Structures are given as structure tokens and as C-alpha cells.
Chain A
Amino acid sequence: MYVAVKGGEKAIKSSLKLLEKKRKETGTKSIEINQIKEQLSFAVDRVINEGSLYDKDLSALAIKQSQGDLVEAIFLLRAYRTTLERYAYSTAIDTSKIIIKRRISASFKDIPGGQILGPTFDYSHRLLDFSLMKEDEINSYENINNQEPKNKEFPSVIDYLNNENLLEQEINNLNDNPFDVTRDPMKFPASRDQWMQILARGDEGFLLGLSYSAIRGFGSKGTHPFVGEIKYGIVDIFISPDELGFEICIGEIEISECQMIDQFEGNKNTPPQFTRGYGLTFGYNERKSMAISIVDRALKSEGYGEEIKFPIQDQEFVLYHADNVEAQGFVTHLKLPHYVDFQGELNLIRKLRNEILQGKKL
């Protein structure tokens, strides 16, 4: 039975007003979009990834509008994305041609180009900095050194292992038409291009938890993976428009990349070797790129003939639950009126109880 109920218009109007009022309760200064972009850059970068739209201004706007609820901000960005006409597909980005901002390897100490720490919380003391409580003005760093650097090249670290055949090679099947979750329905078994796109836009917390489970023993082998290389920096984006007939650069974006090295015992066809997990994100998102690389490796289990025992290896479990826009939609729909459904449940329980209780009396 479906009963249409009208009403609540006044209440809804007032609710929206209260929501807006919450943002400016005591009349503090409005935050500028640029302030969010610079001073909350990690939040901005998280939202462009899970919103799956690289636009830092819109991400900052979404964070402001959602009052810092990042899942809500991601939802806003996703909704905006659907209004855009898609003009082009880029040439696949070449992460070896990167303007480096950070680059480290946990597997090799001495790497050509060196270990470059860049901006990281890793070596901070993790003590609250109370001076930020009343920071008046932010001075920009004027120290400019634009001399030609001694070194601009940062060759891929894992190529060392490649040279010795100790590392699994990427197989190039020349697939020019990769899966696109915004247009194609999910299919199983999923191909790697499918899961890499879904992981890139997946919830960081969910992927972090999954990757943690794997290295605690609920993973393919319960082993300890090694960071071959982590990179963060700027890459050019290229397209080849039909009307021009040649490839052009259309701007640049920031990316974070993680090459994870994992063990493999070998099988009938392959001697023991290292296998790879790969993680790539928009912006500066090192933690997520690491989590993706571990989940990527676990999802490859089936291809190696490994036993599928744990959630992280289960394609349907991972891919159907990684998206936080879908997840929050389904979980929070429970708060919408279910009066009639619940009335039905209530009647059923009453009836069952009555039957049992009356039966006992007899």
C-alpha cells in the first residue's frame, strides 16, 4: 500500500534556513575559496579524487557549501560533473615525465635523482601548534630560485628489478577503449582497468581499512609489501583534437603515484618473483595511492591462481562498496519516511506473537 502524504513544506523551508544559519552562527568572516584551496589543500585533493573531477576551485566551493562534510562535498562535485558535456579523452598520462615535488623509495636507499622528501607530515612532531590559534597573516615565501636545476630526471625505481626479471612485467594488450564506470554497467569478473577507475574514486577510509586488513593477515598472503616508489608532482595533460590533427598540451595537474612491490611464490608456469600493486590519484594523496596499490595487488590474486579467502580479494565486495556516494545514499535513505513499510512489519510481528501466545494458552 502506498499512501501519499503532503505537508512539511514550512518545516523544510525552516530546516534549510537553520542549515544555512549553522554556517554563520556568530557572524565570523566568510572563508574565501582561495583560502580553502591553499590552507585546506588535503581536503580539496580528497574531494577532487572521490568526486572524480579535477577542479580545485569547485572542490573548495563544495567544501565551503557542505560546511566541511567531505562526503557531502564529493556528492556535490559528482552531481555537477553529470551536467558537463565530455569534450575529450586525454592521452594516457606519462608519470615518468613529472615535475617532482616528492619522491621516495622504501626499497632502495640510493636511487638516481635521490630521495626527495618534499612537503610531508612524516617528520613533524604531531604536537598541536598553538601558535596557529591566532595566526594573523600568512607570509608568502618569496625565496625564488629559478636557475636550471642540476637534475630534472627521476627514472622509475622499479625498473631496476625489471632489468633482472625479478619483477612481473606490465602486459600491454593495447586496449584503447578502457571500461568507464560513468557509462558502462559494472561487470564481473572485473578487468583491471575497471577496478583501477573505481578505486581512484573510491572512499579513502574504506580503501585504507581494506589495505590495513590485508597487511594484518586478511590478505592474499599476509605478507609485508614494500614501497618501490612514491611520487607526487605535476604532469602535463595532452589531447589530440580531430580538428587540429595533432597532439596538444591543455594544461597540467598534480598526481600522486605509488608502486608497491609484493611477493609471489610462483606457480607451474612462473618461477617466484615480485608482483606489483599500483596506485594513482589526483592531487597530493599519498595515503590513498598506497591503499589503492595494496587493494590492486589483492584484486590481482585470482589472476595468479591464489586462493580467494578474504574480503579484499573479493572483487564484488570491494568494487560494490568502495563508492561513498552510493554507500551514503543507501545507508542514509533509511532515515526517509518508511511509515507504511514499518506499519506492515508491525502488523506481522503482532500477528506472529498473537498466534504463538494464543497457541501456548491452548
Chain B
Amino acid sequence: MSEIQRKDWISILSKTETIDLKNCIENINYTKDYKIIYGPNVGSIMIRARLGGNGDPYNLGEATLTKCVIKLEEGTTGYSYHLGRDKIRAEYAAVLDALMQDNNYYSKLQSMILDLKDKINKKENHIINESNSSKVDFFTLVRGDG
């Protein structure tokens, strides 16, 4: 099974639905208390783009962003930043971020997180395949004797 870097599991968690995050925590029977250090609170993020697509950055507009920081009994701190306003989802993701940093829990969660990654990939594949179904096949009529 491939190792998962923290950067990658945070990315996976950010694209995972609340119910799937909840299932992960329940599946490893994590019932200990954790302390909420911050939030979950809703704020905003300014989304930047590039002039002409590849030039200097500019401010495109904002999006809602939910932030949560928690601390496990074991002392590990977990963070989450998620687009949108789902506070419960942000809290689960912060808990999972903390658990994944703990070797003991990591080994239990690893395959579940990889499954989530697979689920995200499949969803993306589905969108691209759907789009590709509307790809134009040009055909050229040859006129005259050429």
C-alpha cells in the first residue's frame, strides 16, 4: 500500500463528503475526547487567478471557507480548511488530519483514505468521460478530382 503524505490526505479529505469522513472515524472506533482549539468557523478566502491565464495574479472573488483546529487527547493537532460552510465536515476532517499523524491510527486509516482517493478519481473520470462523449468528430468532404 502506498504511503500517503500529509499534504495529500488533507487534499483528499477536502474533497470528501461528510458521511464518508464520519464513517472513517467510526470504523476505527475512535471514541476519545478531543479538544476544539478553533472553530469550526465560517470565514472567506479571496480566490486569485492570473491575468491572461498565465500572467500576474489578480483577485477574482471570494468564496466561503470553514476552518477548524482540534487537539487529540494524545496531543496531536489537526487542521482543516474547507471551501463552503459545512462545519461538521470541517470538524471531522480536522480530527482525521490529527489521527493520520499518529502512527497507530495511520495504519488503521491508510486503506480507507486510499479508498476515498479512488472514489474522487472515479468521480473525476466520470465527468471527463461524460464531457468526451460530446467531443466533435470532424469529417472533411473532398470535392473535385483532387
Contact = CB atoms under 8 A, between A and B. Distances in A.
Interface of A: 48-49, 52-55, 57-58, 81, 84-93, 95-96, 99-103, 109-110, 114-118, 144-152, 156, 170-176, 178-182, 192-193, 196-197, 200-201, 233-234, 236-237, 239, 241, 243-244, 246-253, 257, 259, 276, 278, 280, 282
Contact of B43 (A85, A171, A257): A85
B79 A147 contact: no
Nearest to B56: A175
Nearest to B64: A55
Contact of B127 (A48, A99, A174): A99
A203 to B, nearest CB: 14
A192 B124 CA distance: 34
A241 B83 contact: no
Nearest to B77: A243
Contact of A237 (B63, B67, B130): B63
Contacts of A52: 61-62
Contacts of A251: 14-15, 82-84
A241 B77 CA distance: 14
B146 interface: no
A179 B7 CA distance: 30
A147 B129 contact: yes
B45 A87 contact: yes
Contact of A110 (B56, B67, B127, B138): B138
Interface string B47-68: 1111111111111111111010
B21 interface: no
A149 B56 contact: no
B4 interface: no
B44 interface: yes
B57 A92 contact: yes
Interface of B: 6-7, 10-11, 14-15, 41-65, 67, 79, 81-85, 121-132, 134-136, 138
B135 to A, nearest CB: 4
Contacts of A118: 131, 134
Contacts of B79: 241, 243-244
13 contacts: A54-B61, A55-B63, A55-B64, A58-B85, A85-B43, A90-B46, A90-B47, A109-B138, A151-B132, A170-B53, A174-B56, A182-B62, A248-B14
Nearest to B44: A84
A175 B56 CA distance: 6
Contact of B122 (A146, A176, A192): A146
Contacts of A92: 48-50, 57
A234 B126 CA distance: 13
Given A178-B58, A193-B51, A201-B61, A99 B124 contact: yes
Nearest to B10: A248
A288 to B, nearest CB: 12
Contacts of A170: 50-56
B113 to A, nearest CB: 14
A84 B84 CA distance: 12
A222 to B, nearest CB: 23
Contacts of B60: 93, 196-197, 200, 280, 282
Residue picked from A100, A103, A248, most chain B C-beta under 10 Å: A248
B129 A87 contact: no
Contacts of B50: 92-93, 95, 170
Contact of A90 (B48, B52, B54): B48
Given A54-B63, A89-B46, A192 B82 contact: no
